[in-house]
Amino acid sequence: MQAEPSEPKAASADPEREWLERTYKRGEPQLTVRAVGVGMLIGGVMCLSNLYVFFKTGWSMGVTITAGILAFSVFRLASLLRITERPLSALENNALTTVASGAGYMTGGGNMAAYGALLMMIVTHEGLKRPDTLPMILWFAVIAALGVFAAIPIKRQLINKEQLAFPTGTATAETLETLHATAGEGATSGEGSQKARALGIAAAVAAVLAWVRDVKATWMPINVPAKIPLGFKIAGQDAAKWTIELKTEVVLVGAGALMSFRTAWSLLMGSVLTYGVLAPALVADGVIKEITYKKIVEWTVWPGASMLVASGLASFLFDWKSVARSFSGMARIFGRNKGPSDPIDEVECPSWWFPAGFVVLAPIVVVLMVYLFQIPWWAGVIAVPLAVVMGFIAARVTGDTDVTPTKALGPVTQGIFGALTPGNLAGNIMSANVTGGIGLHAADLLTTLKTGWLLGGNPRAQFCAQLFGVVAGSLLIVPAFNLLIPDPSKLGGEDWPAPSCLVWAGVSEIFVNGFGVLGSEAKLGILIGALLGVALALLEKLAPKPLRPFIPSPSGLGIAMVIPASNGFAMFLGGLLAEIIRRTWKTLANKLVVPVASGLIAGESLMAVAIVLLRDVAGWLPKG
């Protein structure tokens, strides 16, 4: 969930000097051993949680705020148990959450969307080979690290000089300040304790529910059903046949609570229209031959993907001023001539770190592109600098809007590589992964650096912290995927809808093989989806502000076309409950909505992983 932008503050004549003189705390420890260790642990936990949520919903949940609350809870408990004497400070927590964010966001930026799409293509296309685990770990690590280095040359321009909003970074700073409100004596604030308690209780409830629902053992005193039928028919078939039913997966409710209510009600609308109107009509016309989720989504993925891509590109182009500022900003960045005595250089990352990192990491990316995906070396040489430039653009858009435009930039790369390397499906999918990965990790580091800017953190410490997180997330993400989803043929099914993977694979298939491989109905669906996506994006930009909450979200409608209706219903329920609380008890909402929703997500997803370990690895639970 992205935070709402804060009201801009008046810029000072020299914000860098003001920050250096009045905010930066040179003597306070930040990137400590315990911050790195706990940050990697929390980041790994959130990486597992995000992996589960991503393949269920298509969303990657925010990491920094939840990580800050978890870190506060861990160190408060350690203090009560007298394990540690020195309390966790806001700046140390900032470094810790930077580590956690680097690990937790390894599911984003197209990483798991591309990897899942690749494995789906391997299942359905002969001749494609599944990459080995170790090279894929290196692949994700190098791309993410290159994104971290790409943030260096643009940090001072976007954060210090222009002071872009980076709303999630601002919200995280406000959260950490609240949690450590009385940290002068190492005490803890009452509101921070409430948030920590709410997260823990919600996680425990979700974990217990997941256990009694998923274990399915005869010795269990109670077994909660995974699905609850609604008891009515559509087109002569039980509603459940059209995936219209209720699920007891509270992870979906938690995810909905972290969305905007506009996205949540758009999911409901899209689910009803897709499975209650469109799918029955297509079955009646003989376009869809079988009433199953997989057969329905084989058709609805085309208008859904078209809507998502078209709306993403349209929103990106409508924000042309931000894109233009990216290029003008680059000229200022690389044209700046600083004197050696500039005191800000003592705390900022040295400018030579970026070219040094590029020289080391870019050749590794090119070699892996050739080795893993048979991308010609010359195409790889084109891809990496292009991805870095797009990473600069993505970072600025994130600073302005809080949305990293991977849905727009990924297809651009896919289109370029479709022309450069026709017929290379694996290469087309993973070339876009380079763009998405670099863009997301550059934007993620800049978001956490915005938090550090507001709190007085050390940029060099945060840069190193992000790299520690990247290492932790890279080592975990591929083995965790193999454990959680050992059979890739399950992707795109009702248990693992993987909507982003379906979209990614569909776009690549079109760019590689052309529109001629599709039937006339699918082509019509693509056209209608694209027109609707552009129209909704245009309305969102041009409509009067009071009317915008009533315009359907193209992201919500598009995702609803590639997930089961039951998932859309559950996420809408979460969004509705959160909206009611926000409107009725605003103070309570500020304290509880994010912690409770994050607790539901973490509790259920981590219990699901634990059940897999106990059942499939240890053999202590029955299969079935």
In terms of pLDDT, which residue wins out, 347 or 332?
347
- Same domain? For 176 and 43 the reply is yes
Q: How many domains does the chain have?
A: 2
Mean pLDDT of 530-541: 91
Measuring CA to CA, how many Å separate 347 from each of 138, 455, 484? 30, 14, 42
Task: For residue 238, give the H/E element and its range.
Answer: strand 237-238
Bridge partners of 234?
A: 237
Residue 187 pLDDT class (50, 70, 90 cuts): very low
Token pair of 198 as six digits: 């709410």
Measuring CA to CA, how many Å separate 440 from each of 51, 111, 287, 393, 541? 16, 10, 38, 11, 24
| Residue where one domain finishes, among candidates 465, 490, 515 | 490
C-beta separation of 545 from 245 below 8 A? no
| Residue where one domain finishes, among candidates 429, 457, 490 | 490
Which of 25-29, 60-64, 167-171 is the most confident on average?
167-171
- Same domain? For 280 and 394 the reply is no
- Same domain? For 43 and 124 the reply is yes
- Same domain? For 168 and 240 the reply is no
pLDDT tens for 539-566 read: 988 889 889 889 999 989 999 999 999 9
With a cut of 70, say whether residue 5 has pLDDT above it. Answer: no
Within-domain flag for 321? no
pLDDT tens for 432-446 read: 888 888 888 988 899
- Same domain? For 514 and 453 the reply is no
- Same domain? For 108 and 88 the reply is yes
Q: If you count them, how many residues does the chain have?
A: 624
The pLDDT score that the predictor gives to residue 505 is 86
Within-domain flag for 216? no
With a cut of 60, say whether residue 184 has pLDDT above it. Answer: no
| Residue where one domain finishes, among candidates 446, 463, 490 | 490
Within-domain flag for 215? no
Within-domain flag for 335? no
- If you write DSSP's letter for every residue of 182-224 in order, what string do you get? TTTTT---HHHHHHHHHHHHHHHHHHHHHHHHH---TT-S---
Within-domain flag for 257? yes
Within-domain flag for 512? yes
- Same domain? For 470 and 525 the reply is no
Least confident of 130-144, 320-334, 576-590: 320-334
C-beta separation of 555 from 304 below 8 A? no
Residue 267 pLDDT class (50, 70, 90 cuts): very high
The sign of the dihedral angle between the CA atoms of 31, 36, 42, 44 is positive
Count the Cβ atoms, other than its own, within 10 Å of residue 546: 7
- Same domain? For 463 and 414 the reply is yes
Our separate counts of H helices and E strands in the chain read 24, 4
Coil, strand or helix: which one is 248? Answer: coil
Within-domain flag for 538? yes
With a cut of 80, say whether residue 162 has pLDDT above it. Answer: no
**Interior angle at CA 57, CA 285 and CA 212, nearest 5:** 110
Count the Cβ atoms, other than its own, within 10 Å of residue 535: 16
- Same domain? For 580 and 446 the reply is no
Q: Which domain holds residue 164?
A: 28-205+348-490
- Same domain? For 383 and 306 the reply is no
Measuring CA to CA, how many Å separate 140 from each of 99, 356, 566? 16, 19, 32
- Same domain? For 179 and 33 the reply is yes
> CA-to-CA distance for 171 and 162, rounded, in angstroms?
18
Within-domain flag for 220? no
Q: Which burial class, exposed, middle or buried, applies to 547 when counting CB atoms under 10 A from its CB (0-12, 13-18, 19+)?
A: exposed
Whose CA is closest to 121, among 434, 366, 427, 524? 427
- Same domain? For 36 and 109 the reply is yes
pLDDT tens for 372-419 read: 988 888 888 888 888 888 777 778 777 776 667 666 667 777 777 777
Mean pLDDT of 4-14: 46
The pLDDT score that the predictor gives to residue 92 is 93
